[in-house]
Structure 1
Amino acid sequence: MNPSSTRRRALETWNTRDLLVAVLIPVVFGIILLPILLYTHALMMVIPPFVNALLTGLWVLAGIMVPYILRKPGSAFLGALLVGVIEGPFSPFGWIILLIQAVVGLFSEVPFALTRYRNFTLLFLCCAGAVGNLGPVAINYALYNSSRLAPAVQLISIIAHLLGGLLGGLFARLVADALARTGVLRGYAIGREQIEEV
């Protein structure tokens, strides 16, 4: 079976409700996170870089929550990318935020793809968040010459990004589970799992 037919079949499994979920969650997170983005940018010179790196974990939320709910190929990338689309016009970084979110989405997609969208344990989602949050690290190295920083600073930054992403994965899981308990996601595996647990 060739890769193009596999991709086509994967896209055909998406329905209108899936697309609505995949768009709605990033829109909500994009709106909620925009004030945080503006606030942290305004205080960038005051906030220690370690704290700033930890906060980047918030931007993996949609890239983890959307695939946790939909369990479909491309959902992590789409979730993360749409946050960038929402924030782009208002971001102090301009449209570079779209590039950052695209890379976060690609990095987030990898763990899900490696497990064929079948592993959704808390530990896995935390690890997927950590991997996704290596996206900003890659951007920093590619565009902002992070390699010129002292090795200790680079290591602290990478650890902080991993920890921030891990917390982002945890928070995405908690929010999605809370949403599933309301019954609005009963048509998805996550909704059925919550019913079975009750």
Structure 2
Amino acid sequence: MNKGNAGRTAFAAFTTMDIVLMAMLAAANAVMTVYLSPVNQALNSIGGPVLTSTITGLYMIYGLLAYYIIRKPGTAVITYSIGAVVQSFMGTAYGIVSCFAAAACYMVIAELIFAIFKYRNWGWPVMLLAGGAMVPIWFFVAAQMYGYTKWGMNILLIALVVRTLSGVVLCGLLTKLLGDALARSGLLRRFAVASKG
């Protein structure tokens, strides 16, 4: 098979339903982010960078949920890219650049994790790992963009641990719970999650 055919085959792997689902989740995330911004600011005013780190996982869940449901290579790239575009149009308190930078960090790690497991393992350990693993690279990038280094090393390390745990629980664990619940409801019968469990 030549490269042109391989490219067409990879693109054809996504159905119209897949694309619609990814777009819907990306749009839902953009709306959720609008409402999370004041919550984030309130947490920051109460407990600084550590307390605001507790909700980090919610910002990543839409792409991981799409991957868990669709289970095709490239799902994270498409979903997080759509999410960044939609969010940038809706407006964000963190700047348009942050939308695309965060999306790039999330998609790289998500694609890597599922590639390592050959897109066959969707159990609790892998989902929790994916949720937590997406945090550190964006935290490092954001630290440079927003000057987190002024917090001091101790606060940085605590915030990183809290954010990683948030990724594990509010992204990895919540994705698994939501995905399985939706699959049991019959709403996802046209997607891989319904047939593979």
Q: TM-score range by the shorter chain?
A: 0.7 to 0.9
Q: TM-score of the superposition, structure 1-length normalised?
A: 0.85
Counterpart for residue 27 of structure 2: 27
Letter in 2 for 1:172: T
- The number of residue pairs the alignment matches comes to 194
1:8 Cα offset (Å): 4.5
Higher RCO, 1 vs 2 (CA within 8 Å, ≥6 residues apart):
2
Counterpart for residue 129 of structure 1: 131
1:54-133 equivalences in 2 (<5 Å): 54-88=54-88, 89-95=90-96, 96-133=98-135
List gaps (5 residues or longer) in structure 2. Answer: none
1:37-48 equivalences in 2 (<5 Å): 37-41=37-41, 44-48=44-48
In 2, Cα distance between equivalents of 1:47 and 1:82: 32
Letter in 2 for 1:90: G
1:43 Cα offset (Å): 5.1
After TM superposition, which residue ranges in structure 1, 4 or more long, deviate above 4 angstroms? 1-8
Q: Which has the higher helix share?
A: 2
Map Cα deviations across residues 26-75 of structure 1 (whole Å, 9 max, x no partner). Answer: 21232123201233135533343122112111111012111111111111
Verify: 1:175 aligned to 2:178, yes or no: yes
List gaps (5 residues or longer) in structure 1. Answer: none
What SS does structure 1 have at the residue aligned with 2:44?
coil
Task: Using the aligned pairs only, state the percent identity.
Answer: 25
Deviates more, 1:84-93 or 1:156-165: 84-93
Aligned-residue RMSD, C-alpha: 2.3
Map Cα deviations across residues 1-22 of structure 1 (whole Å, 9 max, x no partner). Answer: 7877655432221121111111
Map Cα deviations across residues 113-159 of structure 1 (whole Å, 9 max, x no partner). Answer: 22222111111111101111224312223323444542222211221
